Amino acid sequence: MHAFTLTKLGWTACLATLAWVTVLGAQTSPEVVVMPDYPVTSANIANPEPVGTAPTPVSALRFEPRVDVQARNLAENQADISIRGGTFENSGFRLGAFSLSDPQTGHYLAEIPVSPFMLGGPRVLTGAENALGGFGAVAGTVAYGWRPIAPRGEVTVAGGDDHFGRGSLYLAGLSPAEGQRAQVGADVEWSQSRSDGSVPFGDQNFSRVGGRVQVRTARMQTDFYAGYQHKFFGWPDLYTPFGVDETENLQTVLLAANSRWQLAGRGFLEFGVYSRRNKDDYEYNRAIPGEFNPYQHTTWARGGALQGRAEAGEWALDYSLEAMHDDLNSTALAFGPYDNRNQFKAAFVPERSFATAEGAWVVQAGGRYDDSNHGGPAVSPVWRTEWQAKSGWSTHLEYSGSTQLPTYTALKSSPTAGLFRGNPNLGRERSRNLELGLTGTAAGWSVGAAVFHRQDDALVDWTYLRGVTARTANPVDIGTTGAEMVARHHTARTELVVGYTRLRKAADYGSAAVDASFYAMNFPRDRLTAALTWRLGGGWELRSDNEYRREEPNLLRTVGGDHTILSSLGLHFAPPGAPGWEYALRVDNLWDSSFEEVPAVPAPRRQFAGEITRRW
């Protein structure tokens, strides 16, 4: 049967299931046995834990309506993060006050050695919010806060097909609250997983250990964190479409301190410092280690950030300052102009509110300044006007800009030889975003929607030219027009989150010869997500995440077509007579789709796993 026919049948069956369980949830007995309380890592997806490895901060983004995770092998092994049609290198992460990035390549952006148990749910910053709170990420930023520590513990063991095995342990303690004295808490986490992979030479070995000390009062929380993560994984055609079995060996260390203080009203002050080291050993051919150049890289990124909000009557000021220094030590990236740099960002956005009988107007107007010892300064506007009606609906119109610098792989790869060909003349990337949005609630649904146009100039893309056995870094001027919507509905038995994104792009590569794009033009024209949690009663719970995508045609995508459905399904049971115990059966890639999320990179196959968790 034709692949698209199967896709339509799969999506039809999925929607029918969603409708069926929603009706049943509304009609059956109101008596519900609630699952044990545990930290929620995302409000927008049903299955935050993967099948085939241990959960990482990227796990909660796999079906996030506003984030497109384009995975090689498993998302937790190697994932490119795309926000609003951006590339893997112009989307970013933030932990508390500071932004994290990888100066070598955006492929390692999600190498964050922190357990999801220690972080709050993700917030997706775009437009004016990203101009204020992002750094080195012109399309958008996924922002996490540090979760308050509560005394608890959890141990999990899991196993599945492809010789998959996983174990994890989380322990947390907190001193008792005594009057006005600060509480001191600590938590530690260890995770380990192994698998032979769902395709030959798709094996993986993952380990992570991290610990945190937290001091907090009613208005302050300070966290000190240290974590280490080691990851080895293989995949055929991981980065090059030549039928070769490739591997990555990554070791990441993160040291961080972050403090947040609550001020009057919605005011706050937050500051943090960090040091991140990422060490990578990439093998083009695992059967012949060191073939061509040895690709061994170590990067260090050290920085600090300060952000906050101050309020005085009808006036307020939002501000953000960040500074970062990075260093590169590489066996292959030796052709560019420099191997270390300093970067700085400052954003100040004053705000004025005007109350009326029907609601309030909020006007923000400010700017952002970016500078570096390589790349020169840039100034960008940040403007936003919002109408907040007393009915609960709000509408906003905004215009903002931001900039970033290219990564070292794009700058310092040889421009004439090798598998990855760089461009030492790449300069500062500039982005401008115009947006109209709406949020509110109606008929039990909460809805957020926006239409936008983002213009990116000198954006770095990796392109393909027929007859050239390499990919090349080229600048492109690209306009992205899109619409996005997220809607949520909650009942005693069900939680449903539906998201839709529509994107169109126009690209100008100038004089560069380009036949296809690996990243900038790898995007879904239409993407529909649906996450359902159905509490069946008696301790049983069904969780389903689904994604349908209609992709922009790309001649590099040779398997799986341009349409697909991806689904994750989990059945959980918490015995009412055995508090703290939970059993789960999960399947990823339910329909066994062969769709290539990254063009020319084979898709993982369907995978199953069972899990036992004990919480206290």
- pLDDT, tens only, 489-520: 999 999 999 999 999 999 999 999 899 999 99
CATH topology assigned to domain 3-615: Maltoporin; Chain A (2.40.170)
Which amino acid, residue 389? A
Residue 35 has pLDDT above 50, yes or no: no
pTM: 0.92
103-117 confidence digits (pLDDT tens):
999 999 999 999 999
Q: Please determine, for residue 487, whether its predicted confidence score (pLDDT) is greater than 80.
A: yes
Q: Which of 224, 222, 225, 212 is nearest to 186 (CA)?
A: 212
State how far the Cα of 42 lies from the Cα of 488, in Å rounded to an integer: 13
- pLDDT band for 6, please (50, 70, 90 cuts): very low
pLDDT digits 0-9 by tens, 350-388: 999 999 999 999 999 999 999 999 988 999 999 999 999
Produce one character per residue of 424-441: b if its CB has 16 or more CB atoms within 10 Å, e if not.
bebbbbbbbbebebebee
pLDDT, position 468:
84
Helix (H) or strand (E) holding 260: strand 245-262
Residue 584 carries which side chain, given as an amino acid letter? A
Hey, is 325 helix, strand or coil? strand
Residue 284: pLDDT band with limits 50, 70, 90: very high
Band of pLDDT at residue 17, cut at 50, 70 and 90: very low
Tell whether the model's pLDDT for residue 455 goes beyond 70.
yes
Dist CA 229 CA 252 (whole Å) = 5
Mean pLDDT for all residues in the chain: 91
The dihedrals phi and psi of 60, each to the nearest 5 degrees, come to -75, 0
* pLDDT tens sequence across 293-320: 789 999 999 999 999 999 999 999 999 9
Structure confidence at residue 177 (pLDDT): 87
Judged against a pLDDT cut of 60, whether residue 19 lies above it is answered with: no
The whole-number pLDDT of residue 520 equals 95
> pLDDT band at residue 39, thresholds of 50, 70 and 90?
low
Residue 405, pLDDT above cutoff 90: yes
In the predicted model, is pLDDT for residue 37 greater than 80? no
Among candidate residues 419, 203, 201, the one with its CA nearest the CA of residue 295: 419
For 222-269, what is each residue's pLDDT tens digit? 999 999 999 999 999 999 888 899 999 999 999 999 999 999 999 999
Q: Is it the case that residue 61 has pLDDT exceeding 60?
A: yes
Residue 93 has pLDDT above 80, yes or no: yes
Q: What is the DSSP string of 158-185?
A: EEETTTEEEEEEEEEEEPPP-TTPPEEE
Give the residue among 614, 586, 584, 582 at the shortest CA–CA distance from 34.
582
Mean pLDDT of 269-286: 96
Please, are residues 184 and 175 in contact by the beta-carbon 8 Å criterion?
yes
pLDDT of residue 592: 96
Name the nearest CA neighbour of 186 among 174, 178, 169, 168: 174
Give 427's contacts (C-beta < 8 A, 6+ positions apart): 375, 406, 458, 475
Distance CA 247, CA 601 (A): 13
Contact 172, 146 (CB under 8 A): no
What tokens appear for 182 in the block? 């600060």
Query: CA 478 to CA 475: how far, in whole Å?
Result: 10
DSSP string, 389-410: ETTS-EEEEEEEEEEE---HHH
Question: What pLDDT is stored for residue 227 in this prediction?
Answer: 98
Tokens, residue 540: 């049983």
Q: Poorest-confidence range of 26-40, 276-290, 588-602? A: 26-40
Q: pLDDT of 567-588, one tens digit each?
A: 999 999 999 999 999 999 999 9
Check whether 160 has a pLDDT greater than 50: yes
Question: Please, which pLDDT band fits residue 15 given cuts at 50, 70 and 90?
Answer: very low
